Structure 1
């Protein structure tokens, strides 16, 4: 417990020194997001609950916290939020189909050994649960990409107010291309780091490459990474187009854009 307190204190001090007020809000948002995730999981445990609807509600709240609570309400956070929700809806439909087709829902052979003494007949749709898990694993990266695109686009528009919608859209795509590779690699290495113990276990048990690739646990995580990458790729053109449309529309109406 003391280690957790010290680490949290060090993180808080660094975030305050580097981020100022935004750093304080970012630190507070960590605990709020944890509470939202916990509540979402608790409600999902009910057989009457729809995990997809709960995931949409949870992602909406998390997006509001990450965008509006940390960066306040302005043009860049508004367009980033709209882009995030559109991407999440598209991903939910796509991931639900992929999960049902690939049959990655439920527990793998390594996990079921620890749960064999419990009853698995809990009345929960594991296809929807698997889809929810993938979306929850992706929401942070999607909101991060969205604000990373809309923020510099807003600055570009502020310095070049006469820029055309097409040029602004293409600039957003250019920004997205620069961060697409690093973000997808971050997702990949997060998987490798989280499942390094499992990979070492595979090696010690002399699993072949075919056994590893066909393992349910391994495949489920790979699909999660690929779906997260798809979400990251989708948010780039969506956020670029929506932000360009919003900024140029405000300019044509003669309204001042709050950046």
Structure 2
């Protein structure tokens, strides 16, 4: 019992040490000297409270046209507490329907003693943070310890994307290899938190990584023959501008994104199949390797349909504005089928779905092999 406790403490210390080292690495890795793409001197975005609506822009029919003129009290920054006059445009993306007492975010420009402010948008920070906290609370309340670990793994994933993946892209690392690195790291951490050190975890990790890489390779093959790459996206002008001022490799961004977007679904299928085979083996350790493999395939077949729909519908939902545009303008079939937007959506959806389909036999094969092999992994005694 004492040795088991000591091993547990040692394992926790090792994990903490690894996380600290990883955090230090991310800190120094993010010391990036970014090129200044826009002039931000004297400009800041700060919270402010609407003190008075000096001139409204509401029309008789209830619509808004033009600008509101409001007085706001700055709540942040060097000029905190000062009251200044600001404009608020009535736009779909910028401005706000200002009312006395509400908190907004203003774009403050300072030149000498002159301050010019315009309402940038509503202050959404409290609502966003509140929803995130509510989500994590629901995750823990329903999932218990597993839910807590799921929340931690989700946070770790976003840390990897923001503080590792994006800086790697900006510094000129291969987008595909950068995405593979993030996939490997997040998969290892997520699977470990959910399943600990076990044959099930190893099977899930290997199946997820292989499946996601397959999605990326399928996408690259499709892109090669369909003449589609990262230069065919709608944001290409902005990306070229950034690439001209950094080491960003635009061509591989599209395929790297497919790896990241496929990760969640492939990880779900991988863990589900591995857990099922592991449970079957625990209940009947006398089953052969082939029987376990066949059971995993049977379970995976039921998942393929639903998970394939998940990815296809996710990509379709993200392109609903484009689809409505196609429908409203009544574009011809020959025009639609050969557009870059359609080719990209088909490539993303089918590449991810193909990865899900192939992950099932891969995980089933790895799990059935590990569970019937004379290998000790983790604290669980071998039953074989």
Instruction: Find out whether 1:84 has 2:208 as its counterpart.
Output: yes
Residue in 1 aligned with 2:290?
166
Residue in 2 aligned with 1:43?
168
What is the number of residues matched between the two proteins? Answer: 254
Alpha-carbon distance in structure 2 between the residues aligned to 1:170 and 1:20: 32
Instruction: Find out whether 1:207 has 2:337 as its counterpart.
Output: no
Residue in 2 aligned with 1:219?
343
Worse overlay, 134-143 or 198-207: 198-207
Instruction: Find out whether 1:34 has 2:34 as its counterpart.
Output: no
**Bigger fraction of residues in strand:** 2
Task: Say if 1:75 and 1:257, in contact at 8 Å, map to a contact too.
Answer: no
Task: Say if 1:66 and 1:143, in contact at 8 Å, map to a contact too.
Answer: no
- Post-superposition offset of 1:150: 0.5
Residue in 1 aligned with 2:381?
256
**CA 1:110 to 1:80, structure 2 compared with 1: closer, same or farther past 3 Å?**
closer
Q: C-alpha offsets along residues 119-151 of structure 1, whole Å, 9 cap, x if unaligned?
A: 664654434222211111111111111100010
Q: C-alpha offsets along residues 203-227 of structure 1, whole Å, 9 cap, x if unaligned?
A: 2333223322222122102111100
RMSD: 2.4
**CA 1:157 to 1:116, structure 2 compared with 1: closer, same or farther past 3 Å?**
closer
Give the alignment of 1:228-243 within 5 angstroms: 228-243=352-367
Q: C-alpha offsets along residues 165-215 of structure 1, whole Å, 9 cap, x if unaligned?
A: 111100000010010000000111111211111211222333223322222
Alpha-carbon distance in structure 2 between the residues aligned to 1:119 and 1:155: 50
Q: Which runs of 5+ in 2 are unaligned?
A: 1-124
Alpha-carbon distance in structure 2 between the residues aligned to 1:117 and 1:249: 52
Task: Say if 2:265 and 2:356, in contact at 8 Å, map to a contact too.
Answer: yes
Worse overlay, 150-159 or 118-127: 118-127
**CA 1:216 to 1:185, structure 2 compared with 1: closer, same or farther past 3 Å?**
same
Task: Say if 2:153 and 2:190, in contact at 8 Å, map to a contact too.
Answer: yes
Instruction: Find out whether 1:96 has 2:225 as its counterpart.
Output: no
Task: Say if 1:80 and 1:147, in contact at 8 Å, map to a contact too.
Answer: yes
Give the alignment of 1:6-25 within 5 angstroms: 6-25=130-149
Alpha-carbon distance in structure 2 between the residues aligned to 1:59 and 1:96: 17
Instruction: Find out whether 1:128 has 2:252 as its counterpart.
Output: yes
- Post-superposition offset of 1:243: 0.3
More RCO (CA 8 Å, sep 6+): 1
Task: Say if 1:59 and 1:136, in contact at 8 Å, map to a contact too.
Answer: yes
- Of the three residues 194, 200, 204, the one matched with 1:70 is 194
Instruction: Find out whether 1:157 has 2:281 as its counterpart.
Output: yes
